Structure 1
Amino acid sequence: MLRFMPVGDSMTIGSAGEHTWRYRLWQHLRDTFDGPCALVGPREALYDKTRDAPVSHAYAEPAFPRAHLAGWGEGWQHLAPLIGEAVRETEADVLLVSLGLIDLGFYTDAEQTAENTVRFVTRAREARPGVRMVLLPVIPNVRAENDAAFAAEVVRFNELLAKTVADLDEPASPLLLASVPESYDLALDTYDGTHPNASGEHKLAAAFAEAMHQAWGWGGEYTAGA
């Protein structure tokens, strides 16, 4: 059994009534992966906007392994202290990570965010030395269209993230940098300039699926939602 843990912010946890990209990826893995696999993590809920808390289980399609480590408003600095225990408890084999937008938007600059990324990787490996990680660069949101300083921090962090992946990658615990989908369009793939709609969910799932397929030969090409 290969255990995948989705790790992320509001784009990963999703909100009440959504499918989430986690569901889209699960569909893909279920249909293409050679062998048993599961999604794992210490949390299962969606974010409930009416209650301003992660207390909803109203998935558009609840029949899938909904476990994750994601939180609305959480970033690298929030999840780095939690990742070790989460990996130990779940025995996660692969971390699928989409973080950074919250950090850069509210808490840390690009260099500080990259330092927290290193802490995250270190603590995950301390908990499970052979853990694999697939890291998605930050997708600029609508704020970047009008805030040049924020946009520059996103670009800088993505450069540092690529360097971090290259520097810390090792055969026993591979790190893989996914690619931001070339066709990702904030007007078409989000409902508010940040959070993915159905097409955005498919594109985020595809980013992780295609990275693993191309680098490790896992699964097949992502075709759902095409």
Structure 2
Amino acid sequence: MLRFMPVGDSMTIGSAGEHTWRLRFWQHLRAHAIPHTLVGPRTALHGDSHAYADPDFPQHHLAGWGEGWQHMAPAIAEAVTAARADVLLVSLGLIDLGFYTDAEQTAENMRRFVAGARRANPAVRMVLLPVIPNVRAETDAPFAAEVAHFNTLLAKAVADLDEPRSPLLLASVPDSYDIHHDTYDGTHPNASGEHKLASAFADALHQAWGIGGPYEALDPRTLA
């Protein structure tokens, strides 16, 4: 059984009344009959809520509202050890670049994260999602430039740090992802955004490692 740990910020933890991309991803692997579960030290949504739109799935994760690479780097080793995680699904960086660190510092924290995860499990696999520029990037050119620079550094770090025993994989944000259509506030995913984030991880796993199959939303109406 593969033990997936979603790691992320507010886009991953979600809020009361949401399904989250974590559920969509779990449904995808379940539909493809892949033995798996979701693991991690936390189960709540934002504000310590457990009011999931559909609570019938493994809710475990390592995600936090307002948390980024700098928060997760020192926490990942313990989390991987405790959860016996095999695969990390990571979506981090927007918060770091927006409030805490520049692109270079954020990339260094990403490397610390990878090292910590490997100390806990030398064979851990990681799928990393580039930062999706949010609505702020449309009017804040320096911020947009930092996001673009970090994504370049992230791709380089994935190439540098990839190794056969503990492979790293850079996922691709779906070309159709549109913050004006797939989020409810220019940052956080709505139903269609949840599916597209889940598809980014699912399709990367399928294409690179043969896990599962192409992503298909179980309810196409939520992509409208």
Same fold, TM exceeding 0.5?
A: yes
Instruction: Determine the C-alpha separation between the residues in 1 that align with 2:103 and 2:199.
Output: 26
Q: Secondary structure at the match of 1:95?
A: strand
The structure 2 residue matched to 1:90, chosen from 80, 83, 89, is 83
Equivalence for 1:17:
17
Q: How does 1:9-48 map to 2 (within 5 A)?
A: 9-34=9-34, 36-47=35-46
Aligned pair 1:162/2:158, yes or no? no
- Count of residues in Structure 1 that have an aligned counterpart in Structure 2: 219
Q: How does 1:165-180 map to 2 (within 5 A)?
A: 165-180=158-173
2:197 corresponds in structure 1 to 204
CA shift, 1:92, in A, is: 0.1
Counterpart residue type for residue 221 of structure 1:
P
The SS at the match of 1:189 is coil
Deviations 1:179-212 (A, max 9, x none): 0110011110000000000000000000000000
CA distance in 2, matches of 1:195, 1:94: 24
Q: Distance in 1 between matches of 2:138 and 2:207?
A: 32
Report the Cα offset of residue 123 of structure 1: 0.2
Is residue 33–residue 220 contact of structure 1 (8 Å, CA) maintained in 2?
no
TM-score by length of 1: 0.96
CA deviations 1:5-44 (Å, max 9, x no partner) are 000000000000000000000000111143x200000000
Q: Distance in 2 between matches of 1:29 and 1:65?
A: 12
Q: Is the Cα–Cα contact under 8 Å of residues 33 and 218 in structure 1 kept in the other structure?
A: no
Alignment of structure 1 residues 54-133 onto 2, 5 Å? 55-133=48-126
Q: Tell me, which stretches of 5 or more residues in structure 2 are unaligned?
A: none
Structure 2 match to 1:223: 216
Q: Quick one: structure 1 residues 67 and 154, their matched pair in 2 at CA, closer, same or farther if it must change by over 3 Å?
A: same
Cα contact 1:6–1:69 (8 A) shared by 2? yes
SS at match of 2:175: coil
CA distance in 1, matches of 2:167, 2:131: 20
C-alpha RMSD of the superposition: 0.7
Cα deviations by residue, 1:71-130 (Å, 9 ceiling, x for unpaired): 000000001110000000000000000000000000000000000000000000000000
Which letter does structure 1 place at the counterpart of 2:8? G
| Secondary structure in 1 matching 2:180 | helix
**Which amino acid in 2 is paired with 1:32?**
H
Q: Tell me, what secondary structure is at the counterpart of 1:66?
A: coil
Partner of 2:126, secondary structure, is strand
Counterpart residue number, 1:50: none
Q: Report the Cα distance in structure 2 between the residues aligned to 1:173 and 1:148, rounded to whole angstroms.
A: 36
Cα distance, 1:135–1:33 mapped onto 2, change above 3 Å: farther
| C-alpha separation in 2, matches of 1:32 and 1:82 | 31
Q: What one-letter code is carried by the residue in structure 2 that aligns with 1:128?
A: N
- Name the SS of the counterpart of 1:140 in structure 2: coil
SS at match of 1:150: helix
Q: Return the alpha-carbon distance in structure 2 between the equivalents of residues 42 and 18 of structure 1.
A: 20
Distance 1:111 1:180 in 2: 21
Give aligned-pair identity as a percent. Answer: 78
Structure 1 residue runs of 5 or longer lacking an equivalent are: 48-52
Moved over 2 A (4+): none
**1:39 aligned partner, one-letter code:** L
Q: How does the TM-score come out when normalised to structure 2?
A: 0.97
